[in-house]
Each structure stands twice: as C-alpha cells, then as structure tokens.
Structure 1
Amino acid sequence: MIGFIRGSLAEKGDGYIIVDVNGVGYEIFVPANSRAYLSSEGSEVMVYTAMTVREDDVSLYGFMRKGELDAFRKLITVSGVGAKAAVSVLSAFSLEQLQQAIVFEDVKTLTKANGIGKKTAERIVLELKDKFSTEEGISASDTEESSDRGQILSDGRSEAVSALISLGYTRGEASGALASITDNDLTAEEYIKRALKNLF
C-alpha cells in the first residue's frame, strides 16, 4: 500500500495530476478543489493516497489532508458509491462542509455533487452519520497541519472551481484560471468573474 507520494508536479490534467518521483510519474486522481491544481508545474507536492484495484484497472487517488483520505475511504464503503463518486463528493465540499451535511442529514446539499442523486445521498447519510458524528470531529492535528501548509482552499475558490466545471471547463482549466488570482477571501462570484476573464 502506498501511504503518500511526494515529488515534483510534472503535469495537471482533467481530474488528475502526475507526480514525478525520481523519474517515475505517478498518475493520481484528485478532487476538483485540490490545492494540487493550484500548484505550478515543477513545484513539490505531497498527497496522501488510496489505491483501488479492479480486475481491469489499478488507480491512485490523492488528497492533501489525511482527513480527506479518511472521508474517501468511508464514502466508498457506502453501497453504490465508487471511487469516482467519492471524489465527486470531495470535489463539491470541503471536509468540514461534508461532515456537517452528513451529521445534520442534509440530503439536499449532498445531491449538489455531480453524480450523487437523492437515493445515494440518503444512503451516505444513513450509513455514515455515526462515523461522521460531531463527537469524532475533525482532528486538531489535521486542521493544524493543513493550516500550516496552506493547503485548504477557501470556500469561495472551491465553489468557483465547481461552478466553472459546470460551465463546461475542465478542472485543469478552472484551477489554472484561479491560480493567477492572488487575492484571498473573495466571494465565489468574484473568483468566477476574474477567472472567466483569464479564460477568455
């Protein structure tokens, strides 16, 4: 099992990154709001990974926070939720937003993730509510680690990425357009407007 991968960001594509580790390129599928998309090619990145193995495919999924990796593993235990659907959920919400939606049984919010219908959202809530309980919470070390490394995207940027994807842009295009915006703490609408200017 590969616990994490650290190396040079060699390439960014639609839904994936390629990390060069001593001359070997690892293709890793990441959420749309992953900070890896906002990193420039050639910079060092580290992602916590999960490997899925099927008869015809072996894939790596990467996350910037251990808590996101844990959430991914929990999501794929839900009936009808595969790895791609789990990544879609983590693309639509921050870890904290996902936990809140599940704990408060907010099915409607969960259906905002691409490919997640009402029945699937209901199963996620039913099967994971106890595992995402407020008692368990988000570990302090996970929050501190992410904050120290600056690896949590603001809600505005995250929403902007999702909105641009819904407009037909690829994840790579959306994240690339947002990467050039240096201002922080803008609203989603402001990020979208500036990103669209960069895309035209």
Structure 2
Amino acid sequence: MSATATERPSQAKERILQTAERLFYDEGIHAVGIQRIIAEASVTRVTLYRHFASKDDLVAAYLDRKAAYDHAQVDGIIDAHPDDPRAALAEIGSALTRDDFGAVRRGCPFINASAEFVGTHPARVKAREIRQWVTGRIEGLLQRLDHRDPRGTAEQLMMVRTGAVVSGALDANDHLTEDYLRCWAMLIDGGLPQSA
C-alpha cells in the first residue's frame, strides 16, 4: 500500500513536468497558466502545489530537466573520447545538428525562457548556469589540445552554437549544418599548435 502511495505522487509529478515542458516550450512560459497545466496533466491544484510551491519552481524544474539532458549528452561525448579531445569537440558540434536543429524548432528552451524574464529570475539563472557549464567543458577540451585561446574560443563556439540554433528556428538556410560545422571546426583548428 505504501508503495502505491509513493508511486502516485511521482507519476503525477512526472505528468506535471511533461505537460509543463511541452506547453512552456511550444507556447511560452508567460502564456501558460497553472490552471492549464493542472487540466492537461490531469492533476489537482493541491497535487501540483505539493510538488511545486510556485510557478517559478515549476519553471526551474523544467529547465533543470533540460540541463540534465545537456549534462548527460556532453559528458557522454567526452567520456566516449577519453584520449581524443579534438574528436570530442567535433562530436559536441555534430550532436547539435542531429538532435537540436530538429528538436528545437522554436529555438533554444533556455534562451526562450530567459528572454521572458529579467534579473535573477530562475529562468535566467538556469540559462546562465547551463551555458557556463557547457562553455567550461569546451574550454577544458581546448586546453587539453594546447589551444592558443581556450577561454575565448570556448565563448566563441557557444556564440556560434547559439546563432546556429536561432538560425535553425528562424532562417531558411538549406546549408545550415554545413555552414555551422565549418565555422565550428575553423574556430577550433585556427588556434591549435602547428604540427612540426
């Protein structure tokens, strides 16, 4: 009996998060009210607030799930290439073209959420945290390659990545993948030590 009691809240919480994820991404956070999430997740108001004390807490949980995916993806790529940081960097760039250009038809969820708020709102904090984390992982790979400017290049690679996601959502560039990957590689290779 106690197992069923603990199962129900976790199932309800998962439904709430899945519903919020879909609606927040497709329609925007401000556009989606708590009552809509309650109705579409088939939960009561009490159940929602038992799991999430406020809408801001739900927004933070939504972005934490997105960040967890990014953490797993980037760390998985790095772990798959333990002795080849250049291959890991190439794969991090390529992963965006396979997963995100199709999956983020409305742009990056962190950028979208961040654009709806100002200051220290959880959406902006979470966006900053994941971007800094990914940038740091890229910088670490560049350092392992003795790159001339690992910090600056990691920041530039994130700018290119961001621009590519925005372009994928807004532009009709039939060569987006090719253009993005060429730029990604040029930034990396341009600062590598010249082989003797």
TM-score, structure 1 as length reference: 0.24
* Larger Rg belongs to: 2
Which has the larger helix fraction?
Answer: 2
Which has the larger strand fraction?
Answer: 1
